[in-house]
Amino acid sequence: MSDAKCPICGGSGWQVVVEGDYSFVRQCVCTISLRENRAESGLPERYSMCTFENFQVNPGGGKKNPTLMAARTVARDFAGKFPAVNTGLLISGPAGTGKTHLAAAILNTLINRNEHGILFQDFRELLQDIRSSYSPDSKVNEFGILAPVLNAGLLIIDDLGAERPTEWADSQFSYILNYRYNRLLPVIITTNYLDGGGRMEEESLSERVGVRMRSRLFEMCREVCIEADDYRKINTGQ
Ligand SMILES: [Zn+2]
């Protein structure tokens, strides 16, 4: 439910409809638009309950992790200020540390505030959808898939760099990023790839998305680095 009271139902979510001598109760349009807005955001069901409150800053029940606390503060701040934001966020850190949770918490906060045009997009899936659109049987063309991604008021790209780096994938990414850069449209990116200072055996973000796109990203986004162990491994004792 939205924080602002709906003028029709006063926030109850139910609307009394009077037709002649009859009256009945139905779900208020505000709950329907919230539901539609949520569905249109593309956020997978798994992340629909992600909030800042249920974000784990002490994975595995141990000590609070300062980088997780800082990341939550920055993300919450971003959601609080949106749409009055100058930069997006680049949330990096190892797998399983809650990067997607934070991005989803931002999205859920904005949707509950009735912001429209917030889009969540797994990057591999986006590339797959674009590829499928090239097929002659496809009902949508490439632009039909890209248009919402290009123009969303806020675009969240989840798991950048997870796909195999190819020239084609790079060109798709730079097209999206440059388009949004020129129109001052913010992006939130989550990625497992750290820049430089990460673990030696791992590839850096520049190697995954190219040096030019990496610098563009750093121009467009505030960096949020999470340093923590995979809490899914902690929990299962692996
Ligand atoms: Zn209402």
Residue 107 Cα to ligand 1 middle (Å): 21
pLDDT given at position 163: 78
- Ranges of each domain in the chain: 1-39, 41-236
Q: Enumerate the β-bridge partners of residue 19.
A: 22
Residue 82 Cα to ligand 1 middle (Å): 23
Hey, what long-range contacts does 76-85 have (CB within 8 A, 24 or more apart)?
Answer: 76/52, 76/105, 76/109, 78/106, 78/188, 79/52, 79/105, 79/106, 79/109, 79/110, 82/106, 82/110, 82/115, 82/154, 82/186, 83/115, 83/153, 83/154, 85/186
Given a cut of 80, is residue 11 above it in pLDDT? yes
Look at the chain and count its residues.
Answer: 238
Residue 76 Cα to ligand 1 middle (Å): 26
Residue 215 Cα to ligand 1 middle (Å): 44
Residue 116 Cα to ligand 1 middle (Å): 17
pLDDT given at position 232: 61
Burial class (CB in 10 A: 0-12, 13-18, 19+), 79: buried
Could you tell me which CATH number the domain at 41-236 has? Answer: 3.40.50.300
Closest by Cα among 208, 189, 170 to 87? 189
pLDDT digits (tens, 9 = 90+) for 39-83: 999 999 999 999 999 999 998 788 899 999 999 999 999 999 999
Cβ neighbors of 168 (< 8 A, separation 6 or more) are: none
Q: Which residues are found with C-beta within 5 Å of the ion, ligand 1? A: 6, 8-9, 28, 30
Residue 4 Cα to ligand 1 middle (Å): 10
pLDDT given at position 96: 87
pLDDT digits (tens, 9 = 90+) for 165-201: 788 888 999 999 999 999 999 999 999 877 654 554 4
Residue 111 Cα to ligand 1 middle (Å): 15
Residue 113 Cα to ligand 1 middle (Å): 13
- H/E segment holding residue 234: helix 231-236
- 203 phi and psi angles, rounded to 5 deg: -70, 150
